[in-house]
Structure formats: C-alpha cells, structure tokens
A = this chain, B = another copy of it.
Amino acid sequence: MEQVKLYDTTLRDGMGGRGMSLSVGEKLKVAQALDALGMQFVEAGFPSSNPKEAELFERLAEVELENATFVAFGMTRRRDRAAAEDEALAVLASSFAAAICLVGKSSPLHVEKVIRVSREENLEMIADSIAFCREQGKRAIFDAEHFFDGYREDSAYALECVAAAAGAGAENVTLCDTNGGSLPSYVAEATAAVVAAVGQTVEIGIHTHDDSGCGVANSLVAVEAGARLVQGCVNGYGERCGNANLASILPALQLKMGFDAVTPEQLASLTPTAHYLDEICNLASDPDRPYVGRNAFAHKAGMHAAGVAADASTFEHLDPAAVGNQRDIVASELAGKATVRSQAEHAGVELDDEAATRAVQRLKEREHRGYHYEAAPASFELLLRREAGTYKPLFRLESFRVVVEKHADGEVTTEATIKVEVDGRRYFQAAEGNGPVNALDKALRTAIAGRYPHLADVELTNYKVRILDEAHGTGAVTRVLLDSADGEREWGTTGVSENIIEASWEALVDSLEYAFQ
C-alpha cells in the first residue's frame, strides 16, 4: 500500500486557536502522544530565543521518538539579506530538529502587497532559504502559503514558486489553503495540476483549514490528486475554524482510501489519543466529532437501533473498534428490554429478567418526570445497579442546608453545611462556594474525603442546567447534567427536581458514587 505521511502542527499552527495556551511540559506530552499515534512529523514551532521556546526545544531534544521527526518552523529569508546572514534561519539551522519547514509566498498578490518584493526576488528568497537549510544538513519542507489563491490569480507563477523550492532541494512542497476558503473540486484540480507539473521531482503535501467546513474533504481530495503528505492537527485545533482535523483524515486514508499511514494498533488508539489531547489542552471534547466523538457511533431512534442490530453497516460506516471508539445504544423512551439488557451487559451489571422489566419501568417513569439518560449513562448504570441489587451507597445523608445571602453592599456569600454518615460514623462539615452547588460539592467532599481518598481525583468537568417546561417560569422543573472525570474515565450523571439545588445534588451524588462502582 502506498504511504501518506501525516504532519501534525498542533504545537505551531494549532496554538493559534482562541484560548490555546500550553506549558512546556504540556507540549512535551502532546509531542509524545502524537508520536505514539504514529505521526511522521511533529512540528514544534519556531525555536526562537525567548526563554519558553528555548526551554521547549531544549527539552524536546531529549525526547526519544518512536515514529516522528521533529520539525522546526520558520520563514524564508528576509528580502534585504542573504540566507546565511538571516538571523531567523540561523536559529533554525542550529536547532536540534532534523527537519525545517519554511513558509513562503506563492501568490503574486501577497508577494506584491504583503512582503513587497518583485516576483523574481520572491523566487530567489525561496530557493536561497531552502538551499541554506540543505547545506546545514537539514531536511527541508516548503509551505507554499496562500497557494490556492495564488494559483487562481496566476497559476504559472504559483508553479514557479513550487519549482523553486523543489529545485533547491526541498523534499516536500506543501500547498496551503491559508484562509480556508477553497472548495474540494478546486483543490483537487489545482493539486492535480501541480503533481502533473513537478510531481516527478518533489513530493507534494496539503495543508488546509476549515473555514468553509471542507478542511477534511480538501485534504482527502488532494491526496486523491497525488499529494502524499497531510498537514493538520489531531482534533482540528487552530485559528478561526481550525486546521484540518487529522483525526478525521487518518481513518479515511487508511480504512476507506487504501493508503498506509500508521499501524492498525496505532489507528485503534485514535479515540483515546484525541480525548487525551483535548484534556491536555483543557478543552471539552466535541461529542459529535467524526470517528472519535462520544456520539460518533451512538444510536437513538428506535428504528436506527433496530437497523444496527440487524446489520451494523446500516447506520455505521465502519467498525468503531478500528478507531478505538465503541457503539453506544442511547437509552431513551423508545428503548425496550433488549436495549436495557444490552446496556447492562456492556456495563457489567448482571440483570435477570425480572430486574430488567423493573428497570424498563423505572426508566419510563423517570423519563416521564423529565429525566433524560442519553447524556447521563452513569446515572443510568446506577439505576440498573439499584434494580440488580449491586448498588453500594457511598454515605447516608442526614441533612444539608445551603444559604445564599446578598448583603447591603451588594456582596453575595454562599455557604453549605452537610451531615452525613459513613459506616455508622457521623460527619458534619461546612464550606463556602461561589454558588450554591459549588458550596454543596465542597462540603460533601470535605466531609467524606478521609473515607474516600480517590474522591480527590474526581473532577466535575461540565455542568449543564435545563429548565423543562420553561413556560412555568421559576416554578418549572429543572434537569441538571453533570460530566465528571478521574483522569482515566469520563462519565455523565443527571438529576431532576423543581428545586435546582436538589437536582444538582442528585447529579452530584450519582457522579461521586459512580466513581466507586
């Protein structure tokens, strides 16, 4: 099978995403995770002299990679000096990274408007800079910025830029859709033209963005047109709408298009790796993400669940296990005993026929009252355990009290007190919080922390409130959804009540109890 190389730019282009900011230690973890996933290139950024970047490159130099080559990123030489006298190129040459990626212009508009040099001078800047990297013993990649705009304006000149880099010794020229505006048919056509023109002398790569919602598709059609390297970010991090999502591109290349990129074992680690990267970046994982999302193989409608049971391919485009994900039959009113039993089995809960009947009944009752277990499988599992008789409560609540006060000076204070019993011993605790649920959470955890040290690992990662039957104003029923994680697992719980504090309490208790099931 023919190989397509994957080039992850999370540590450089991905950092342009709003709110993205990683410590040196976190960047090391990202690099190692990308290497373990089988990326051929991991772009590390520009090894500038600022202390943080300097420390990053120092520490990256000590990382032993299994698969990937680190790439240092920079620009072609400045217009007013020779490559050998360009400070930035010197920094790149002296970095430990075996490969250098240089970005340069390929659009006449940008040559003239942004860097303001002649077309000829731009070609020399490209060739000089790549040649300099090669002379310094580095592998060289040229990123043709705004290539698809340039090709539209003046295809001959855009091709000259590509040829200049190739002629100077670049092992790859990557065509960039820098503003993300191109659509697939045009990307396919332009890439095919480049491959026809210079494909014999240099490998072509593709770098796309998702501004048109076509970042993934544009990369895939470019590969069909002959590109053999794809730049992007696992999870599609990046400025504006993000870079092309390598977590969607990789499985398509390997499972649908017949290319070779990583091993099947590496591909099967895609889902956990994508979630781990989100965790390092402190981002909630998008549940609807292709291949790796929590919902990517979730089936809800009764008809679809039945279809999947008859033949998985009816509503699954591939085997979820191939990308490390799993099928998820979502609990809903439509579910019958069969669904409940298959979920119990999946959760390792033994449910006899009678218990399954009771569980279905309980489910229907609760859904009628406003519970919604689709996003709260952990609460559903606890419901199953209660019916199966294998449920273990963490504590017995005696009482709690939450007080919110707004004072004359406008200050708001919140405190919670709680009385609970564990194994016959009574615990009484108070806590302040920035809101009532936060205070209650703190008081409960402090009260039982001594008995359950693992509680310290359980983090509430997401809290949602939905008012049901909103037309009843503040007297309506409230449904709370809570997501939690302990570094290994993630789970969702729920609570429903007219009283938002009580609903939150219920979801909170389920969350903590699930951690110990």
Contacts and interface: CB of A to CB of B under 8 A. Distances in A.
Contacts of A205: none
Interface string A473-508: 111101001100000000000000111111011001
Find the residue from A212, A315, A433 having the highest chain B CB count within 10 A: A212
Given A401-B405, A500-B500, A241 B180 contact: no
Interface string A175-188: 00011111111001
Interface stretch (A18-26, A60-68, A94-102, A350-358): A18-26
Find the residue from A293, A318, A473 having the highest chain B CB count within 10 A: A473
Contact of A296 (B23, B241, B441, B461): B241
A240 B399 contact: no
A216 B212 contact: yes
Contacts of A218: 217
Contact of A462 (B210, B257, B436, B470): B470
Contact of A220 (B214, B252, B304): B214
B256 A296 contact: no
A156 interface: no
Contact of A18 (B178, B287, B465, B501): B287
Nearest to A507: B474
Contacts of A466: 282, 465
A474 B406 contact: no
Nearest to A293: B241
A372 B290 contact: no
Interface in A418-474: 433-438, 441, 459-467, 469-474
Given A217-B217, A220-B183, A406 B441 contact: no
Contacts of A375: 18-19
A185 B459 CA distance: 44
A210 B290 contact: yes
Interface stretch (A2-10, A106-114, A387-395): A106-114
B288 A241 contact: yes
Interface string A188-229: 100000000000000000000011111111101100100000
Interface in A323-352: 330
Interface in A47-80: none
B295 A18 contact: yes
A146 interface: yes
A297 interface: yes
A403 interface: yes
Interface string A232-254: 00001001111001001100100
A241 B412 contact: no
20 contacts: A109-B313, A149-B313, A180-B317, A181-B317, A181-B318, A210-B290, A214-B217, A214-B220, A217-B218, A240-B288, A240-B298, A286-B286, A401-B404, A402-B403, A435-B497, A435-B499, A459-B473, A461-B471, A462-B471, A474-B508
In the A-B complex, the 4 residue pairs with the closest CB atoms = A181-B317, A217-B217, A460-B473, A213-B248
Given A19-B481, A401-B406, A412-B497, 11 more contacts: A18-B298, A211-B291, A239-B304, A240-B295, A240-B297, A401-B405, A414-B499, A436-B500, A465-B465, A465-B478, A500-B500
